[in-house]
């Protein structure tokens, strides 16, 4: 498993979220799948840049531009920040993560015009994009995540 080093050392900020997103959605699941196949032998090579980044996230030391913006109150976002989120939190309507939610599918299909999205719609994208990038089995196991998935609309800042 590898990921490039996404951290800007000058600002101490991760400029791309891929280590966090794949760690939440894929890495643990990949190793966990082997539990069901005890006779299968598998080697996972973990490169130092990935381990360093996962370590910072696990210690709560990582500053992540995407996570910071998706955590901020939607009504406090500037026009530029809203545009950034619209560009990066919406995915192709053909992605399975998008198709899990009729609401997400609707918002993903719309043009990314910050003026055309309400604060509630921005908040929805902040919440759902993070739920959608979680391991589906974890979402089903954890009541808070499964409640957010089932709610699928009208998210509050407390939900986020």
Residue 156 in any domain: the answer is no
Residue ranges making up the domain that contains 36: 7-58
pLDDT tens column, 24-68? 999 888 888 898 999 999 888 889 999 999 999 999 999 999 999
Concatenating the DSSP letter of every residue in 60-83 gives T---BHHHHHHHS-GGG--HHHHH
Decide: 57 and 7 in contact? Cβ < 8 Å: no
pTM: 0.88
Is residue 69 within 8 Å of 85, Cβ to Cβ? yes
- CA dist 54 and 68 (Å) reads 17
Sole residue written with tokens 């539990």: 35
Angstrom distance (rounded) from CA 118 to CA 26: 32
Give per-residue pLDDT as tens, 72-126. Answer: 999 999 999 999 999 999 988 898 888 889 999 999 999 888 889 999 999 999 9
pLDDT value, residue 150: 93
Per-residue pLDDT at 2 exceeds 80: no
Residues 82 and 143 in one domain: yes
> Is 85 found in the same domain as 38?
no
- Total structural domains within the chain: 2
- Examine the domain organization and report whether 146 and 113 are in the same domain: yes
């Amino acid at each position: 498993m590898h990921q490039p080093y996404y951290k800007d050392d000058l600002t101490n900020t991760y400029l791309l979220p891929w280590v966090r997103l794949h760690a939440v959605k894929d890495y643990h699941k990949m190793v966990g799948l082997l539990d069901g196949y005890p006779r299968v032998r598998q080697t996972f090579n973990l490169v130092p840049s990935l381990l360093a980044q996962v370590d910072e996230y696990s210690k709560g030391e990582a500053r992540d531009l995407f996570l910071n913006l998706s955590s901020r109150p939607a009504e406090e976002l500037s026009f530029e920040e809203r545009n950034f989120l619209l560009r990066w939190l919406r995915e192709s309507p053909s992605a399975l993560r998008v198709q899990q939610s009729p609401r997400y599918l609707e918002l993903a299909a719309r043009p990314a015009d910050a003026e055309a999205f309400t604060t509630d719609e921005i908040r929805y994208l902040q919440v759902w994009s993070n739920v959608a990038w979680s391991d589906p089995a974890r979402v089903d196991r954890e009541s808070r995540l499964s409640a957010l998935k089932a709610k699928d609309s009208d998210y509050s800042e407390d939900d986020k």
